[in-house]
Amino acid sequence: MTESSALLTDRYELTMLDAALLAGTHERECVFEAFTRRLPAGRRYGILAGTGRLLELVEAFRFGDEELEYLRQNAVVRQETLDWLADYRFSGTIRGYREGEVFFPGSPFLIVDAPFAEGVILETLILSVFNYDSAVASAAARMVTAAIGRPLAEMGSRRANERSAVAAARAAFIAGFGATSNLEAGRTWGVPTMGTAAHAFTLLHDSEEDAFRAQVDALGPGTTLLVDTFDVEKAIDTAVRVAGPELGAVRLDSGDLPKLVRRVRDQLDALGATKTRITVTNDLDEFTIAALAASPVDSYGVGTSVVTGSGYPASGMVYKLVAHREHGSDGAWIPVAKKSDGKASIGGRKHPVRRHDADGRAIAEVIHIVEGGDTPDDTGRDLLVPLITDGDVHREHLGPEGTRRAREHRELAMRELPDQAFRLGRGDPVLPTIFD
């Protein structure tokens, strides 16, 4: 049985439910939406990630005996509410941006149609998934741009908790990274895995040469040897002598990289190892990767920066009630909005489209406020796709196949953006968000 996700939530989601059940407003039809008010300072776009993970978690959002007993013992809600939770199954409809889509401030990337009780208790789960996964994907996409076609591997598992590490590997892969060091991400999401040896392996042996020979014997001459445990120049000589000119790659994890990479490339070429690649893994982010653009680096491994969103570990996303019906199933829809200073929202059901110029380049994010489920008269690309319909998850978004689809869509969505989107310098969102 899949582990329940029901208690991966904040207490106040259930106390709101408890009060709504008591008041008799829990079945009122509602529209919730998730969006971000702003992008991290200076960034020009965001990449949405987490959809496939969220859908699996919604399916597992069930209150079994253990969850109900915990709530009972801690007097979180009344017995009547426990009885309601025992039968909980999300039966509503969720539409959203396709995973891998580009988003901007105000983009309603997830729209939930459900009775209040069913929709409100998903808030924490929705935001915890999208805030983190999208932060990682948005940072990773900038690194992919900075790498100008050179491969990147995600290797930040030791800089995140064990669950976040898997989510981060998946999000980075969607954003264009080619591999991860995390085996669970490989098993669960189909992300290619990589990895050879750390400094401990070299230090285990009586000499660096013994360590290199042991690794080559086990993994073949095409392996990647870590050459900065002691003296890089001596290690390169030893590595080529042990593995031969067919040595696959050397890895540098320290030093003044622009200068060091050039010296290593010259030394490898002089030794006849002209096809041996150089990969660097020293506290990289998008800016240090860009600074290496003119260096003969062949690939990058990124850890801390990618799993922490390169300084922005959350995406500032919120989940708001934007409309509900008057009493009765045939009642009119009433738009509702928060008016607080700096945190105001826009009420009403939304339908987002992305407009393009004659060359297919994106020029605006247009958010139509519509009545009911009306479709606006707009020639832009519709951004909403069905994710859950009447409680049934659309399976194409799940698992390794859904992850692959998200990666492919991210590439397509970014190709629509104007060139200035890919500048690493500080700037405003590259597309305006227009509410119509």
Write the DSSP string, 388-416.
Answer: EETTEE-GGGSHHHHHHHHHHHHHHHHHT
Helix or strand (DSSP H, E) at 299: strand 299-302
pLDDT in single tens digits along all 436 residues of the chain: 479 999 999 999 999 999 999 999 999 999 999 999 999 999 999 999 999 999 999 999 999 999 999 999 999 999 999 999 999 999 999 999 999 999 999 999 999 999 999 999 999 999 999 999 999 999 999 999 999 999 999 999 999 999 999 999 999 999 999 999 999 999 999 999 999 999 999 999 999 999 999 999 999 999 999 999 999 999 999 999 999 999 999 999 998 999 999 999 999 999 999 999 999 998 999 999 999 999 999 999 999 999 999 999 999 999 999 999 987 667 889 999 988 877 778 999 999 999 999 999 999 999 999 976 677 778 889 999 999 999 999 999 999 999 999 999 999 999 999 999 999 999 999 999 999 8
Phi-psi region of 24 (alpha: psi -120 to 50; beta: other; left: phi over 0): left
**Can you give the residue ranges of every domain in the chain?**
11-136+316-435, 148-311
Backbone CA torsion sign across 184, 185, 189, 191: negative
DSSP state of 375: P
**Is there a common fold for 11-136+316-435 and 148-311?**
no
Using DSSP's 3-state secondary structure scheme, residue 144 falls into helix
| CATH architecture classification, 148-311 | Alpha-Beta Barrel (3.20)
Considering the entire predicted model, what is its pTM?
Answer: 0.96
Using DSSP's 3-state secondary structure scheme, residue 279 falls into strand
Contact (Cβ atoms closer than 8 angstroms) between residue 275 and residue 289: no
- List 349's β-bridge partners, or say none: 370
Which residues does 185 contact at the CB level (< 8 Å), separation at least 6? 165, 166, 169, 170, 173, 191, 193
Domain 11-136+316-435: CATH class, spelled out: alpha beta
